[in-house]
Amino acid sequence: MNNSFGRIPWLGVLAVVTMLPGCDSVDPPAFRMNMVEAVSYETAPEYQQEIADVLAALFGTPDEPFALPATGLDQVMLNRSAGPAWSDEAGYNYGLYRKHCVHCHGITGDGRGPTAMFLNPYPRDYRPGVYKFKSTYNPAKPTDDDLHRVLINGVPGTAMPSFSLLPGSEVESLVEYVKYLSYRGEMETKLIQYVFDELGVMEKLDDEGNEIIDANGDPVMERIPFDPTNDPDQREAVMDLLAEVVDAWDGANEMIIAPTEDSIPAEKRSPEELLASIEKGRSLFFDKDKGNCYSCHGPTGLGDGQQDDYNNWQKAHKKFLDETAKLAEKDELDDLEASLLDDREEVAESLYPLRNAIPRNLRQGVYRGGRRKLDIFRRIYAGIAGTPMPGGGPSAPGAKAGALTEEEMWNIVDYVYSLPYEPASQPQVVTPKYTQSITN
């Protein structure tokens, strides 16, 4: 026995097993800075650290989230969603975000979880606070019900699953945590912009407000720290920025698109009425001045119109990459530009490959934002936030009317609903004028 199973290998195994726990838990999980924004605004490392500190003071950490009362977020729900996954003795589950979401959406909610690069589409980046599938006007935030609906229904045709088997309290806690990550992400961007606009290296002033001059006759420069704890003006500014973020979310319920009663088609329509509505919808679909749907979704509705556009998240990355490439092409770079280029290239390397926003194939009957007629109506009315899909209705309550009336939108809803059942071999009626604009 002793010959076969010497002690040394076993001790080695024991040592490895003992040491391994440390590999993944040396540092507790931390939120990651939005480096695209930070580098775009040329945020110095010292300011990056100070912004991270302020954000930690406002929102806590992934293991110990914190929400100021001003945010209106429910701390108990945040506690249920944050931290590592575990269950208490009563069977309540904690660490819900880590358990169900983090592998795709990432610990910061930046849509860069470990699996993200393989997914189509990329998981949502919560930080800009822009959500595609909602009941509100295009620029408005989603309501809690909207986020809840996406969690319950999932997003068909994507990696986003339905969480309908989870207890209701868990889904509500996840909704709260998603909002929390958006609040934090929006605040991060606002703080980066604030630091860029208001702070930086400036001439040092004496007590009387005069510039201090050094021995060479040059003004003495100093970096103004971002320290809201000790600077009441900065504190007030930060709280104002937070209020802006919170107000937009709080106002979401007043921005819900509710179709007018008169425009809603009757529940029981005769086949002739339905066909007439579909025909109207078809003509609007191909009408360049009204629906103009064909230009993206294609003359056949197969989603084969324009293919080159990007959604807003990808546009931001494209802009960053283009600016980086432009900087790299410069013949001579000073020290500051060279340093900036290094930073930009480091961030550019970490970005996922750009993907175009491919219009939906309407013949498959897969509607990512929900397949109720009301869902399709709202997509047509408000468009899809953050994507090239424009809205046919006004952009806010009381704003200028859009290209389509509500009745026309319902006609298009009927046409869209009929498309999966229309033989694909039956070519659509496209006038030469429209065909020409496609090829152009």
Partner 1 sequence: MSNNPAPNHRVSKNHAHVWAWLLFCATLTLLVVGGIVTTTDSGMAFRDWMTSDGTFFLTYDWLSSEGDKFIEHGHRLLGALAGFLAIGLFVVCYLTEDRPWVTKFSLVILAGVILQGILGGARVVFDERLLALIHGCTGPLFFALTAAMVVVTSTWWRQNKPASLAADDAMPRRTFQLALICTGLTYAQLVVGAIVRHSPDLTSQLAATVFRVAVYFHVLLAFVLLGHVLLLGMRCLRTGLQRWGGVGLLGLVLVQLALGMSTWVVKYGMPMWATRFVGEWTLVNRKADVISSAIITGHMVGGSLILVISLMIALRLGRQLRVLLPRVTASETRIAEAAQ
Contact between 205 and 149 under an 8 Å Cβ cutoff? The reply is: no
Which span (24-32, 47-55, 251-259, 266-274) binds partner 1, by CB under 8 A?
24-32
The Cα–Cα gap between 129 and 186 comes to 7
Is there binding between residue 347 and partner 1 (CB under 8 A)? no
Contact between 44 and 228 under an 8 Å Cβ cutoff? The reply is: no
The Cα–Cα gap between 388 and 232 comes to 42
Tell me whether residue 20 or residue 275 sits nearer to partner 1 (CB atom): 20
The Cα–Cα gap between 152 and 271 comes to 34
Is there binding between residue 336 and partner 1 (CB under 8 A)? no
Tell me whether residue 29 or residue 139 sits nearer to partner 1 (CB atom): 29
Is there binding between residue 158 and partner 1 (CB under 8 A)? yes
Residue in the block written with tokens 């500014």: 237
Strand partners, 304: none
Is there binding between residue 373 and partner 1 (CB under 8 A)? no
Count of chain residues binding partner 1 (CB under 8 A): 54
Tell me whether residue 89 or residue 335 sits nearer to partner 1 (CB atom): 89
- Show Cβ contacts of residue 389 under 8 Å, excluding neighbours closer than 6 positions: 296, 359, 379, 383
Tell me the pairing of strands 201-203 and 221-223.
antiparallel
Contact between 67 and 76 under an 8 Å Cβ cutoff? The reply is: no
Tell me whether residue 116 or residue 409 sits nearer to partner 1 (CB atom): 116
Smallest gap from Cβ 63 to partner 1, in A, equals: 10
Q: What tokens appear for 290 in the block?
A: 């009204």
Lay out the site mask for partner 1 across 60-89 (x = CB under 8 A, - = otherwise): --x---------------------xxxx-x
Is there binding between residue 308 and partner 1 (CB under 8 A)? no
Tell me whether residue 245 or residue 416 sits nearer to partner 1 (CB atom): 416
The Cα–Cα gap between 297 and 281 comes to 14
Tell me whether residue 107 or residue 175 sits nearer to partner 1 (CB atom): 107
The Cα–Cα gap between 67 and 71 comes to 6
Which span (150-158, 180-188, 322-330, 392-400) binds partner 1, by CB under 8 A?
150-158
Instruction: Tell me which residues touch partner 1 (CB under 8 A).
Output: 1, 4-5, 17, 20-21, 23-25, 29, 32, 62, 84-87, 89, 91, 93, 95, 98-100, 102-104, 107, 112-120, 153-166, 361, 364-366
